[in-house]
């Protein structure tokens, strides 16, 4: 599913594409099991020479950047550059203030202490329905957090919320640096301008922008 009938030429310094990666899709062009390749990037992007700048877990959704420029790929993906990544996270239960402060101050994981994160509880965002839907327990409440990280460990957000006793139910990466998925449906993509990304090509597949209103610290 492409967002252009006629892709525009690559910008000077390399081409950069922003994809809204759907749930269940691998962050690679091969290795899937689906005959139509809809469980890999090949099922959504038919543009040669592009490689993911960083990864997004199969069971996570949202921003995945791809480029044909190796230096740009490293600049986006390398944690040394501390590019902020914003996640909308649905967790099981309702974290108390001390649990949120633990996320903000750094969580001890098996690969070391995480860097301080920006964490706020938010109202449920206006997102597309997930396919398949999230499975809930009727007796357990849930809530949404906005978490901003400046590092990129394997499954970091999920491990952080699990460490404070609130497993992640749904994880959407909404923004990486200046690039956000405003207006992109799952599986749709658009060209963005590297490295700042202010110029965004028009997409044919739009969704409502989520509302991430703080609901107060608890």
- Mean pLDDT, 10 residues at a time, the chain of 218 residues: 40 80 96 89 93 94 95 83 91 96 95 95 96 90 96 93 97 94 95 58 39 51
Q: How far apart are CA 95 and CA 212, in angstroms?
A: 17
Q: Alpha-carbon distance 177 to 70, whole Å?
A: 18
For 166, half-sphere exposure in the C-beta direction (CA atoms, 13 angstrom radius) is 26
Q: With CA atoms as reference, report the closest residue to 147 among 113, 179, 129, 170.
A: 170
CA distance 87 to 151: 12
What local confidence, expressed as pLDDT, does residue 195 receive? 59
pLDDT for 13: 52
Q: Using CA atoms, how far apart are residues 36 and 38, in angstroms rounded to an integer?
A: 5
Instruction: Give the global pTM.
Output: 0.84
Nearest CA to 102 out of 145, 59, 141, 62 is that of 145
Question: CATH code for 16-192?
Answer: 3.30.70.1560
- Specify whether 57 is catalytic: yes
Beta bridge partners of 171: 89
Look at residue 212 in the predicted model and tell me its pLDDT.
55
Domain ranges of the chain: 16-192
Active-site residue among 36, 39, 57, 182? Answer: 57
Other Cβ atoms within 10 Å of 62 Cβ, number: 25
């Amino acid at each position: 599913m492409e967002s252009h009938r006629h892709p525009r030429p690559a910008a000077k310094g390399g081409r950069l594409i922003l994809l809204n990666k759907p749930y269940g899709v691998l962050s690679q062009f091969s290795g899937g099991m689906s005959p139509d390749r809809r469980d890999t990037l090949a099922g959504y992007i038919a543009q040669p020479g592009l490689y993911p700048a960083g990864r997004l877990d199969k069971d996570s959704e949202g921003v995945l950047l791809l480029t044909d420029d190796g230096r740009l790929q490293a600049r986006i993906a390398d944690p040394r550059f501390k590019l902020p990544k914003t996640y909308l996270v649905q967790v099981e239960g309702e974290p108390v203030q001390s649990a949120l402060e633990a996320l903000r101050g750094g969580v001890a994981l098996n690969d070391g202490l995480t860097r301080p994160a920006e964490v706020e509880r938010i109202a449920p965002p206006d997102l597309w329905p997930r396919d398949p839907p999230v499975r809930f327990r009727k007796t357990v409440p849930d809530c949404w957090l906005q978490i901003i990280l400046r590092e990129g460990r394997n499954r970091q957000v999920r491990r952080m919320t699990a460490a404070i006793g609130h497993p992640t139910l749904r994880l959407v990466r909404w923004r990486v640096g200046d690039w956000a998925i405003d207006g992109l449906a799952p599986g749709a993509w658009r060209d963005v301008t590297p490295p700042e990304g202010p110029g965004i090509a028009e997409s044919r597949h739009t969704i409502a922008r989520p509302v991430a209103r703080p609901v107060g610290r608890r």
